[in-house]
């Protein structure tokens, strides 16, 4: 029996009774802006499956992931479909609480070639289980306020050419306009450690689980050194992301540049700073860097009550071109599905960005972004390094000493 026929039979057996008029309530747990995308797609789902009601449980980003961590640990309060942001996929993948979508009746291997390649590596555990389907990606992009750069007489291409020129331009911007270069020096560090990785390297560990962090790793040394130069020159506003101060800086133009995923455009336009329409532009990251910045996935908990309908819903959200384009138009969620990236909407000018054809830029950046291997200790390494970065920026700690201390702590925790 061919694989496709076996899949059809398994799915038919699973869905058999439910496709009759049995009423089903499917619980989907998500976070912003995925919840908005789901609501936008619901009418099309309901038309197709009138007997399946979606019970959408949306919580703020951190609350959602904390709740899902607890639910997976206790086996209580699990949804049928679990949305997961990329920062948590590695951690959740190493547990055993989510279905392996490579296995029957899911047989998701046949779909992998349909997605932007780096997303598949992101959702694959160290032992080869595929635990979640990608729905949107975050091609890394360099946002800048055109009005602020014009006032300072700074060329954005100069800022893009090297990190040294980026910082030098920041000094000119601060002097001429009073605006800060960036919200926090940490964002420069976070970007440098994520760009231009060698094949088979994760951010903190390589394929053999060897720890890469340390005073001898040029990538980490440079990332912390550049962040320190930004802070020492007084070029960062010392504002954390997802804070009211951050939104305020966007509205007032007191921060000239921002590194983020392409999805930030939708957030700026819809709720963060809608009145700044036409003032922003985007370009690729400095030094021809390409990075993934955020991204969302859907998984099926092993203890879910309605696995068959959970899988139908996930396929509808991730493999259906119409769903992917609806989410994209609703909140700028950049499709993980390659076919959806070829939609005519991608060549349309983006009014919020002054009519720039930004989506073509993002599509090309996504194609050039390398897969990054995830490791179950990534979140621990990240926490330890953020603490050491704070020591460098605020206490004046030596960069190489900070990295040596971080290496020792990560090695101890990962042991």
Q: Which residues of 310-348 are buried (b: 16+ CB within 10 A; e: fewer)?
A: bbbbbbbbbbbeebbbbbbebbbbbbbbbebbebeebee
Task: Report pLDDT for 96.
Answer: 87
- Residues 162 and 121 reside in one and the same domain: no
Point out which residues pair with 281 in neighbouring strands: 144
DSSP SS3 for 352? helix
Higher pLDDT: 367 or 318? It is 318
- Residues 60 and 202 reside in one and the same domain: no
Provide φ and ψ at 398, rounded to 5°.
-65, 135
Provide φ and ψ at 296, rounded to 5°.
-125, 155
Give the pLDDT confidence of 52-82 residue by residue, as tens digits: 999 999 998 889 999 999 999 999 999 999 9
- Residues 306 and 283 reside in one and the same domain: no
- Residues 307 and 389 reside in one and the same domain: no
Q: Which structural domain range is residue 269 located in? A: 140-290+370-412
- Residue 9: pLDDT band by 50, 70, 90 thresholds? very low
3 falls within a domain: no
362 falls within a domain: no
- Residues 204 and 337 reside in one and the same domain: no
Domain count, the chain: 2
Asked whether the beta carbons of 369 and 361 are under 8 A apart, the reply is no
The per-residue pLDDT of the chain, averaged, comes to: 92
Give the pLDDT confidence of 207-233 residue by residue, as tens digits: 888 999 999 999 999 999 999 999 999
60 falls within a domain: yes
- Residue 18: pLDDT band by 50, 70, 90 thresholds? very low
13 pLDDT higher than 70: no
Give the containing element (helix H, strand E) for 3: helix 3-19
20 pLDDT higher than 80: no
- Residues 64 and 185 reside in one and the same domain: no
Mean pLDDT over residues 111-119, rounded?
93
Give the pLDDT confidence of 325-336 residue by residue, as tens digits: 999 988 888 999
5 falls within a domain: no
16 pLDDT higher than 50: no
Give the pLDDT confidence of 310-319 residue by residue, as tens digits: 999 999 999 9
- Residues 304 and 225 reside in one and the same domain: no
- Residues 81 and 160 reside in one and the same domain: no
- Residues 145 and 115 reside in one and the same domain: no
Asked whether the beta carbons of 389 and 228 are under 8 A apart, the reply is no
Higher pLDDT: 98 or 372? It is 98
- Residues 242 and 283 reside in one and the same domain: yes
Q: What is the CATH number of the domain that holds 108?
A: 3.40.190.10
Mean pLDDT over residues 142-170, rounded?
98
- Residues 218 and 325 reside in one and the same domain: no
Cα-based distances in Å from 161 to 157, 220, 231, 343: 6, 20, 21, 31
316 falls within a domain: yes
Point out which residues pair with 83 in neighbouring strands: 298
- Residues 276 and 151 reside in one and the same domain: yes
Higher pLDDT: 246 or 9? It is 246
198 falls within a domain: yes
2 falls within a domain: no
């Amino acid at each position: 029996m061919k694989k496709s026929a076996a899949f059809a039979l398994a799915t038919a057996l699973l869905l058999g009774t439910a496709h009759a008029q049995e009423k089903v309530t499917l619980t989907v747990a998500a976070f912003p802006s995925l919840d908005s995308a789901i609501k936008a797609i619901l009418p099309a789902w309901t038309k197709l499956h009138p007997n399946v009601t979606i019970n959408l449980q949306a919580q703020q980003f951190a609350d959602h992931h904390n709740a899902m961590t607890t639910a997976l640990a206790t086996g209580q309060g699990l949804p049928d479909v679990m949305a997961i942001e990329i920062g948590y996929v590695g951690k959740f993948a190493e547990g055993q609480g989510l279905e392996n979508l490579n296995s029957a009746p899911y047989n998701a291997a046949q779909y992998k070639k349909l997605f932007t390649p780096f997303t598949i590596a992101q959702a694959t555990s160290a032992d080869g289980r595929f635990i979640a389907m990608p729905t949107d990606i975050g091609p890394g992009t360099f946002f800048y306020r055109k009005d602020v750069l014009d006032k300072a007489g700074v060329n954005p291409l100069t800022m893009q050419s090297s990190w040294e020129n980026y910082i030098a331009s920041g000094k000119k911007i601060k002097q001429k306009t009073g605006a800060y270069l960036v919200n926090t020096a940490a964002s420069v560090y976070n970007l440098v450690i994520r760009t231009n990785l060698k094949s088979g390297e994760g951010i903190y560990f390589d394929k053999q689980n060897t720890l890469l962090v340390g005073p001898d790793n040029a990538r980490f040394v440079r990332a912390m050194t550049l962040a320190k130069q930004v802070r020492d020159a007084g070029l960062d506003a010392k504002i954390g992301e997802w804070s009211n101060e951050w939104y305020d800086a966007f509205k007032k133009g007191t921060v000239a540049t921002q590194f983020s995923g392409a999805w930030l455009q939708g957030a700026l336009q819809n709720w963060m700073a809608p009145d700044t329409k036409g003032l922003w532009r985007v370009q690729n990251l400095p030094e021809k860097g390409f990075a993934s910045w955020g991204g969302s996935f859907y998984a099926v908990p092993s203890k879910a009550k309605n696995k068959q309908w959970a899988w139908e819903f996930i396929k509808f959200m991730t493999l259906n071109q119409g769903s992917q384009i609806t989410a994209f138009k609703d909140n700028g969620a950049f499709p993980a599905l390659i076919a959806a990236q070829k939609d005519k909407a991608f060549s349309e000018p983006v009014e919020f960005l002054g009519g720039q054809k930004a989506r073509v830029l993002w599509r090309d950046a996504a194609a050039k972004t390398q897969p990054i291997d995830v490791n179950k200790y990534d979140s621990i390494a990240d926490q330890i390094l953020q603490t050491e970065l704070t020591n460098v920026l605020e206490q004046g700690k030596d960069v190489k000493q900070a990295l040596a201390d971080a290496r020792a702590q990560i090695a101890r925790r990962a042991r």
